[in-house]
Chains A and B, each alone.
Chain A
Amino acid sequence: MAKSPTPIPTQPVKVHRAAQGTTRPAQKRRRKKRNPILWFLQGVVRRIYFGIKTAFKFLLLVPVLVFMVAFSYNVDRSGLFQGALAPRRIVDLMLQGYDVTNFEQMDEREVVQLFAQDVPETPEAIGIGSSRVLQFNRENTGVESFFNMGVTGADVRDNMTSYYKMVTYGKAPKVLLWSLDPWVFYGSEDAFDARADADLYNEFLTKVLNVPTDYEEPDTVELWKALADPAYFQGNVDYYVKNRGQSTVTDDDGNAIEFNPVEGDPYNQNTTIKRSDGSVLYDVAFRTQTEDQIRALAAGACMSFNSVHMEGFDEMSPTQMQAFDSFIKYAQTQGTTVILVLSPWHPYLYDYLLTEPENHKGFFEVENWVREYCSQNNIPLYGSYDPTCIEGLQETDFFDGLHCSGTGIVRFFPGVPQALQDLQNGTLPDPLAVHPRTSLEDPAAEGEAAQTTQQEG
């Protein structure tokens, strides 16, 4: 039965102590004297040899661990490394060149951050801003590898962190197209969007702009723990087995993820879709409204204009202006050329705002300040908040009061290549040549007054 190398307890055997003295000790064989140095060296060599041999054999088991870590990292059902499952599906589809359905249900911020992580090659140009930038696409920018990182309701934090994410992944683009919204310069909490990643913004402020915040380094141990956690691996195996080869992908709780490639003509969809370049294509009904319908929407936006991040916006915040300047300089140090765009508001809406300038003092300060800034820093600036400053702009170039369509964009933006060429040749349009209206009085006089205010400031 017993074939074990280790012993099984046997019956105790009595030790005969008395016998020790009686027997004659056997003559000891004289041992050869060993050279202590040689003996020591032999010991060292022996230990090194067996140490290497043992370590090598254990290393052969490392592939098992590598497989576990790689599998957990790639499947990542809890989205610890690859982001949540739904945004990951969207980004995967976009990177494969598909337009994606169900835009209204998307967590755009997560999509943008995941895109920054997953995009294999750095896009030549990216666009940042709110939904007002989302009509910029590969066609009207003239850049094949353009990606629109704008998100609905974006505040200053969204704008800056989108670009910052690209930089942290070593993918700083050559061109940054920033559609500036007026609330970027508003220092109140009302200018912020609850959906923005405040932690990431704090990280950006602390690490890049050296502004002290309550930012704390995330606990990387927790992440590594998950990677080295076999229980997490098993969860990933379960998830992978469940979803492999399935047409409908499910999330961690088994619910279906309803983001799928657009089928058929993208311009003929009944719902809003996210294009593969990050831009948004509204549904057919919204895109084909009559002039009256658009004006009705613009009229509706008049009363709620300030509620879009501008409640109580009476003056531009010096802190935000400083942050803006620091961000521009930061982007330039990353080798990025910044192009600023002021997307126009619907004429009806803008005209309405002019009737009550006291309620929109901050708003009316922004454009002139930006023009002054661009002029001083040689930054390309296109467009204007005032639609009358853009030649040929029609009311049908809008979807509603806030959103200018692609046809409107081409009226003020010549495309990225042209902008870069103008910058290189020194033939950029003079920002100060445009004088947006800030009241119902003479716009030229207003412009001069604004300039004086800036200089004094």
Chain B
Amino acid sequence: MTITWEQVLAFLCEGQTMAITSLLFLAFFAAVALINYVLPRVLRPYFLLIASYGFFCYDPVNRPLVWVLLAATALTWLCGLIIGKCRYKAVRVLALIASVGFGIGILIFYKYWNLLADAMGGSVLSHRDNLLAPLGLSYFTFAAMSYAIDVYKRRCRVELNPLHYALFVSFFPTLINGPIERYPQMRPQIQKSRRFSYGRCAGGAFRMLWGYTKKMVIADNLALYVGMVYGDAANMSGPNLTAAAVLFAVQLYMDFSGCCDIALGAARILGYDLIENFQSPFEASSFNDFWRRWHISMTGWFRDYIYFSLGGSRCAPWRHYLNIVIVFIFSGLWHGADWRYLAWGLACGLCAAFGAMTAKLRKKINRCNPLYRIGWFKVLWQCLVTDALFCLTLVFFASALYNVDPFAVYSAMLQGWDGLAGSWAQVSELIYSVGIDGRLPVVLLSGCFIVFAAEHNGRSVARWIRQQVWPLRWTLYYGAAAAILFFAAFGQSAFIYQQY
């Protein structure tokens, strides 16, 4: 039995789409990393630019849409050049409006068209059936807009090399799930590529492995249960819906942070440091603190370009609270053109505004609370309340994802409770009914425990692993690989945040 190169290629290319969990992506990435380090450092950004466009265009669906990426890059770069070099403020403002307007325009055209058409009752805009958005639209438009605004606000120097700037916009590890990069952070790394460092490479590789484990072992297996509950939400009991709400939060974290780990690890191997997107969000002590730790690149973007532009907290209190709500509404809308995302943003905004409103009062009450004198209890209680609140708001998010009525889910969550034992029986019965045997829940529980313990207090797992003695290090490498091999749910490779 002889295997030809054509057959190997056919095997790798069979899926057509380059999912980040596919063998094809790994082969593509290995080839890119290898060539990247063989090339002289000055040529590396140009090669990575070609690779990024290759990655974008690999999926036939994206090929006709490559002009969007090209246009967003060219226009914002030109506008940046005008903003940075022109002395006339009016011209600079016009250039800024053009770049931001183009970014918002393509977002509306490819993402919010139908929402707007429906909102206008179909009289002004007609509904489009095949609304296909280019890969990473929300990520690269936000990155491009941030550059133009930063140049206008003099937070960033003008980039004269359009190819360097193009790499920033289209850098392939960030194209799928972000993080949303900022040019001041990327610029020095692009202009002077790093020398090869074995430590960086090993750390990056482990970060990728860690991400794959989180995504494929934990998130995808949790998705089996969550998908089943939300898939038939109308017939589910309260305990199952509550368990699904909690598990969806864990699934979403493992899915999204796992993909970010892969992106950060991949970028690290290529010689780039990206923005950390998560900082142990489930250890947050308040709802506002939670949002400082969750999807940091997006919340940071909204904070810098919307919240501060609206006046931030340096205004009347009612305006401050309104600003918070507005930012969260935008955040909800960013996730998708669906009223449930909007409702999710609104719910989060109201919670955050309420948190800001009552911050001083709660501080006073907390001082009088004798239980809060026990340090660990205070931390645990605050974490639990924050996480519970997040899980509750997330029902809107999950409802949008699985297309169910969130209010029906909320009302059903209160029904069907049968004591602790009876409710647990309902949940476990459903778990076993899908053929999940006893091993998997144990693996998921211990997996979640290991992930949360390893990432405790925002610890960098990649750096931590490099500091360990080699037997422990290699045990973890093999352990993670074995966990993927034995327990990963294959065939469910799509990331939740990939669609945004």
Contact = CB atoms under 8 A, between A and B. Distances in A.
Given A4-B458, A13-B155, A14-B154, A46 B196 contact: yes
Given A5-B273, A50-B196, A234 B10 contact: no
B38 A50 contact: no
Nearest to B487: A234
A224 B279 contact: no
B297 A47 contact: no
B148 to A, nearest CB: 13
B485 interface: yes
A377 to B, nearest CB: 35
A277 to B, nearest CB: 30
A3 to B, nearest CB: 6
B236 interface: no
B405 interface: no
A233 B485 CA distance: 8
A62 to B, nearest CB: 11
A15 B274 CA distance: 21
Interface residues of B, number: 56
Interface string B1-40: 1110001001100000000000100000000001001101
A234 B486 contact: yes
B89 to A, nearest CB: 15
Counting chain A residues whose Cβ lies within 8 A of the other chain, the interface size class is: 35 or more
Nearest to B205: A58
Nearest to B200: A5
A51 interface: yes
B459 A3 contact: yes
A17 interface: yes
A7 B279 contact: no
B364 interface: no
Contacts of A234: 485-488, 490
A215 to B, nearest CB: 16
Nearest to A218: B1
A61 interface: yes
B196 A61 contact: no
Contacts of A5: 203, 273, 460, 462-463
A376 B403 CA distance: 82
B154 A15 contact: yes
Interface string A34-78: 000000000100110011011001101100100010000000000
B338 interface: no
Contacts of B154: 14-17
A7 B275 contact: yes
A9 B182 contact: yes
A1 to B, nearest CB: 5
Contacts of A434: none
Given A9-B296, A220-B3, A61 B477 contact: yes
Interface string A2-33: 11111111011111110000000000000000
Contact of B491 (A2, A221, A231): A231
Nearest to A50: B196
B333 interface: no
Given A14-B155, A68-B485, A9 B457 contact: no
Contacts of B491: 231
B157 A17 contact: yes
B159 interface: no
Interface in B176-216: 182, 184-185, 196, 198, 201-203, 205
Contacts of B196: 46-47, 50
17 contacts: A2-B276, A2-B458, A4-B276, A5-B273, A7-B275, A12-B155, A17-B157, A43-B40, A50-B201, A54-B198, A61-B481, A64-B478, A68-B485, A220-B3, A229-B490, A230-B490, A233-B485
Interface of B: 1-3, 7, 10-11, 23, 34, 37-38, 40, 150, 153-157, 182, 184-185, 196, 198, 201-203, 205, 264, 268, 273-276, 279-280, 296-297, 300, 304, 457-460, 462-463, 474, 477-478, 481-482, 484-488, 490-491
Interface of A: 1-9, 11-17, 43, 46-47, 50-51, 53-54, 57-58, 60-61, 64, 68, 220-221, 223-225, 228-231, 233-234, 237
Given A61-B478, A220-B2, 17 more contacts: A1-B280, A2-B276, A3-B457, A3-B463, A4-B276, A4-B279, A7-B273, A7-B275, A15-B156, A17-B157, A64-B478, A64-B481, A68-B485, A228-B23, A230-B484, A231-B491, A234-B488
